[in-house]
Chains A and B, each alone.
Chain A
Amino acid sequence: MADPMRIRAQAAGDKTTVRVLMSHEMETGQRKDSAGKLIPAWFIQEVTAAHNGKTVLTAEWGPSISKNPFLQFVVKGAKAGDKITISWVDNKGEKRSDEATVT
């Protein structure tokens, strides 16, 4: 099981800024280990954000995204108390989903 994400969602007016920090190796598949063998690619492929269960953002990611990625976006119309759910799936099929409440 992957390590938890850190999600912060802060409302200001009718906009909510969501900041997500994900814990992932994001191996490109280009690097070699100390023995000279290729380290197999391992990265997040799909990111989904939902506001009270309704999908507001989907993203396709690839090996060019950094290790432990940081994602920030704005959701219109989200109020304090609403739920923001972030999920990702990586190329090994591993999944992680975390939820935060808008403050």
Chain B
Amino acid sequence: MKRNLLLGLAATALCAGALAQKSAADGIAEYRKMLEDGNPADLYEAKGEELWKKARGPKNVSLQACDLGQGPGVVKGAFVTLPRYFADTGRVQDLEDRLVTCMVTLQGLNGAEIVKTPFGKGEMANVTALATYVAAQSRGLRFNLPQNHAQERESYEVGKRAFFFRGGSHDFSCASCHGEEGKRIRLQDLPNLTKNPGDGIGFAAWPAYRVSNGQMWGMQLRLNDCYRQQRFPYPGFASEVTIALGTYLGVNAKGAESIAPAIKR
């Protein structure tokens, strides 16, 4: 009798434990939900919108005639089709690279200078704000990158190779962390980026505001930091490899809903 009672007690304790237990992922999801209501990315979006409409640069014109692939000045829907091939530059470009092109051709700014500027400084901070604004105009739309041009297909293949390329002091590739389900870094779940990871995950969540360091990150900085964590040399801003990786991730994310600009821990 006494033994039965003890067993019963033990069973109740177990149940209570299971109820109180919340997985780390649930906790993080709850934390993000709370933060979403005051996402500082909104501030960058507002700044980007102002920069888009303001006449600037040596030529003193706005970016409103910038062609992001949907025709001059069309912003809505552009983000979910980038990177793509542009006939005027003759290469595949991602959003940030394309914005720099427009800043050069329309506003007369110095593109080589911008590309050399560290993230978060000067005109580079403006590129990130502009990317945040453009991405926000495609919020809720689904990724659908074109793969009609030969260069777009080539970019995808190059991106795929880069994704699986192992090297550096830790013998890492992107695929080491993002090649299968259920992996994580500390408490952060890592999406499997070799396929569509789902709505608002991976490629569909950047640009995003990082709460931990109070910075707005575009895809270029996201990739740059992935390479830092792999102990690779830093890739150049808007270099071919970063755009190819963007194409690979973007094509894989086909059908995923964009939630950018998102908020991250």
Contact = CB atoms under 8 A, between A and B. Distances in A.
Interface of A: 3-4, 6, 19, 21, 23, 66-68, 70, 72
Contacts of A3: 43, 46-47
A21 B38 contact: yes
Interface in B49-85: none
B55 to A, nearest CB: 18
3 tightest A-B contacts by CB?
A: A70-B38, A67-B214, A68-B40
A23 B42 CA distance: 10
Contact of B43 (A19, A21, A66, A72): A21
23 contacts: A3-B43, A3-B46, A3-B47, A6-B42, A6-B43, A6-B46, A19-B37, A19-B38, A21-B38, A21-B39, A21-B42, A21-B43, A23-B40, A66-B214, A67-B40, A67-B214, A68-B40, A68-B43, A68-B214, A70-B37, A70-B38, A72-B37, A72-B38
**Majority SS of interface residues in chain B?**
loop
**Majority SS of interface residues in chain A?**
loop
A25 to B, nearest CB: 8
Contacts of A23: 40, 43
A6 B44 CA distance: 11
A71 B42 CA distance: 15
Contacts of A68: 40, 43, 214
B46 A4 contact: yes
Contacts of B43: 3, 6, 21, 23, 68
A96 to B, nearest CB: 12
| Residue of A21, A66, A70, A72 contacting most chain B CB atoms (<10 Å) | A21
B77 to A, nearest CB: 24
A68 B168 CA distance: 37
B182 to A, nearest CB: 32
A23 B50 CA distance: 15
A53 to B, nearest CB: 25
A21 B37 CA distance: 10
Contacts of A21: 38-40, 42-43
Nearest to B35: A70
A66 B39 CA distance: 13
Contacts of B38: 19, 21, 70, 72
A37 B46 CA distance: 32
A6 B46 CA distance: 9
Contacts of A70: 37-38, 40
Interface in B20-52: 37-40, 42-43, 46-47
Contacts of B39: 21
A65 B87 CA distance: 48
Contacts of B47: 3
A35 B43 CA distance: 29
A73 to B, nearest CB: 13
